């Protein structure tokens, strides 16, 4: 089963402008082959399908627990896309007149689906607009092969995130990217350590791929200075504590990138504190939530008052 926490893993700054090109490129990190929808579904299906899990419990717990964290990554990439498409708007926007074709001059390369299908919000598609597909899921039933695949997936995801970083300086995108460089680094290291315990091979000497450290990027460095690169969070009220047997000990020097402070891996017995969800106001020209938002707000306010009495 899944529980849900109504927070983002970390808070994102609002995009200072409506930036549909960055939004389109960030879609790759959501619904692409190496996107967050792929990481969650790979690890989730591997955990559903794992044979002999009672005998290999710490590996089962590690994969299941990381799968749950990826749910929050889908959410934060979506939030970044929404921020890019929303810009700094905070109030209901009725400035655009449909009769004047307000969207006819959107920049070339805008993904029309963002406007037509989703009212300027995220979609489960890649940067080409192709839908995410279960073909991206690898669940072989062979633990070593699955872990090796997951290591590859995390590094593939990192490579694509680095390339998207090249394509935008928008702070809503770059804060999300900095956070996910660090969290993806934790996952790659966790899978590397799992493989090391099973086979003795020195996977951690292959990190990071590509060969550029996270601390080069100020948005990632800020999270490393908070120790995020050393922490694996537990995303369950009662389960998966034994993943700590894999995520423990001293981090390799290359992994900590000479930042100073602790070099000890830490299994945190709770999810991260998280940040607030962004507020997306209605947009009249998108017909969201409707042409008469006041009526919807009034009905919702009545329901909210009723809910407070429950």
In this structure, what DSSP letter does residue 54 have? T
Are residues 250 and 264 in contact, defined by beta-carbon separation less than 8 angstroms? Answer: yes
Residues 90-129 that bind Mn ion (CB under 5 A): none
In this structure, what DSSP letter does residue 231 have? E
Angle at 162 between CA 124 and CA 130, to 5 degrees: 25
How many residues interact with Mn ion (rule CB under 5 A)? 6
- With respect to Mn ion, which residue has the nearer C-beta, 143 or 283? 143
- Structure token digits, residue 242: 């034994």
Given 187, 193, 229, 234, the residue binding Mn ion (CB under 5 A): 187
Cα-only R_g, the chain: 21
Q: Is 19 helix (H, G, I), strand (E, B) or coil?
A: coil
Provide, rounded to whole angstroms, the least separation between the CB of residue 184 and Mn ion.
Answer: 5
* Interacting span for Mn ion (CB under 5 A) from 24-32, 54-62, 179-187, 209-217: 179-187
- With respect to Mn ion, which residue has the nearer C-beta, 180 or 283? 180
Helices and strands, counts by H and E, the chain: 10, 2
Check binding of 229 to Mn ion (CB under 5 A).
no
- With respect to Mn ion, which residue has the nearer C-beta, 184 or 208? 184
The number of beta carbons lying within 10 Å of the beta carbon of residue 144 is 14
Measure the CA–CA gap between 193 and 35, rounded to whole angstroms.
22
Residues 34-73 that bind Mn ion (CB under 5 A): 36, 39, 70, 73
* End-to-end CA, the chain: 25
Provide, rounded to whole angstroms, the least separation between the CB of residue 277 and Mn ion.
Answer: 18
Measure the CA–CA gap between 166 and 153, rounded to whole angstroms.
20
- With respect to Mn ion, which residue has the nearer C-beta, 187 or 229? 187
Provide, rounded to whole angstroms, the least separation between the CB of residue 37 and Mn ion.
Answer: 10
Measure the CA–CA gap between 188 and 39, rounded to whole angstroms.
11
Provide, rounded to whole angstroms, the least separation between the CB of residue 176 and Mn ion.
Answer: 11
* Interacting span for Mn ion (CB under 5 A) from 14-22, 50-58, 181-189, 293-301: 181-189
- With respect to Mn ion, which residue has the nearer C-beta, 82 or 120? 82
* Interacting span for Mn ion (CB under 5 A) from 14-22, 31-39, 165-173, 275-283: 31-39
- With respect to Mn ion, which residue has the nearer C-beta, 96 or 266? 266
Provide, rounded to whole angstroms, the least separation between the CB of residue 69 and Mn ion.
Answer: 7
- Taking the CA atoms of 22, 27, 29 and 33 in sequence, report the sign of the dihedral they define: negative
Distance of CA 5 to the CA centre of its chain: 14
Q: Which residues pair with 231 in a beta bridge?
A: 266
- With respect to Mn ion, which residue has the nearer C-beta, 20 or 185? 185
Contacts with Mn ion by CB under 5 A lie at 36, 39, 70, 73, 184, 187
């Amino acid at each position: 089963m899944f529980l849900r926490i109504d927070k983002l893993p970390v808070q994102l700054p609002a995009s200072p402008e409506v930036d549909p090109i960055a939004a389109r490129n960030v879609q790759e990190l959501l619904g692409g082959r190496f996107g967050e929808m792929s990481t969650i579904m790979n690890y989730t299906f591997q955990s559903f399908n794992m044979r002999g899990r009672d005998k290999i419990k710490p590996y089962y717990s590690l994969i299941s627990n990381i799968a749950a964290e990826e749910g929050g990554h889908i959410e934060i990439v979506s939030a970044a896309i929404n921020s890019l498409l929303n810009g700094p708007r905070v109030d209901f926007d009725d400035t655009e007149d449909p009769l004047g074709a307000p969207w006819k001059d959107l920049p070339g390369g805008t993904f029309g689906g963002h406007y037509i299908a989703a009212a300027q919000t995220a979609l489960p598609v890649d940067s080409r607009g192709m839908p995410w597909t279960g073909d991206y899921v690898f669940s072989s039933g062979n633990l070593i092969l699955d872990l090796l695949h997951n290591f590859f997936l995390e590094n593939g995801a990192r490579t694509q995130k680095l390339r998207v970083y090249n394509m935008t300086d928008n702070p809503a995108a770059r804060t999300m990217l900095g956070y996910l460089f660090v969290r993806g680094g934790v996952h790659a290291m966790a899978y590397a350590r799992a493989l090391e315990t099973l086979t003795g091979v020195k996977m951690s000497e292959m990190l990071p791929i590509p060969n550029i450290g996270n601390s080069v990027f100020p948005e990632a460095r800020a999270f490393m200075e908070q120790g995020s690169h050393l922490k694996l969070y537990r995303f369950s009220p009662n389960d998966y504590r034994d993943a700590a047997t894999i995520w423990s000990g001293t981090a390799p020097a290359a992994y900590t990138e000479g930042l100073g402070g602790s070099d000890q891996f830490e299994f945190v017995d709770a999810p991260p504190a998280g940040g607030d969800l962004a507020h997306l106001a209605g947009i009249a020209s998108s017909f969201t939530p409707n042409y008469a938002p006041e009526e919807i707000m009034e009905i919702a306010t009545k329901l909210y008052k009723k809910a407070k009495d429950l």
